[in-house]
Homo-oligomer: A and B are copies of this chain.
């Protein structure tokens, strides 16, 4: 599927619609083959021991699913997550950013389905996996 918003345009769009998370995420790669998003490890997302928290990993999965969907359909700020299932498999590495690799499994008229693997930067075994469904509002 053709990309209609590239990494720079998506970054601007995210800043507009989610100003609260400004600086929390960035896009490492966005093209027809892949989306890789980065969660910047920072004090507020850490747990005792210096590892990234579960809610911060959920937030990365959620924003990445939004980004990969929007990158194909364009700016539709009202798309909403309807479901997420996430498995936490390993403790993230202390102090490391978390990278999410996303796949768009389905893009229908009303729903998109995305899955992702999350990794501590520099490590081969995933720390978490998630699948998400977004509901896409009908275009008027």
> Which A residues fall within an 8 A CB radius of B?
17-18, 20, 43-48, 53-56, 58-59, 62, 77, 80-91, 105-106, 110-111, 113, 115, 117, 125-126, 129, 131, 133, 135
Contacts and interface: CB of A to CB of B under 8 A. Distances in A.
Contact of A83 (B43, B48, B85): B85
Given A20-B43, A55-B62, A111 B86 contact: no
Closest A-B pairs by Cβ, 6 of them? A85-B85, A55-B59, A89-B106, A58-B58, A83-B87, A54-B81
Nearest to A112: B89
A89 B115 contact: no
9 contacts: A80-B88, A82-B111, A83-B86, A84-B84, A87-B113, A87-B131, A87-B133, A89-B105, A133-B133
A46 B18 CA distance: 9
Given A20-B43, A20-B47, A105-B129, A84 B83 contact: no
Contacts of A46: 20
Contacts of A129: 105, 113, 115, 131
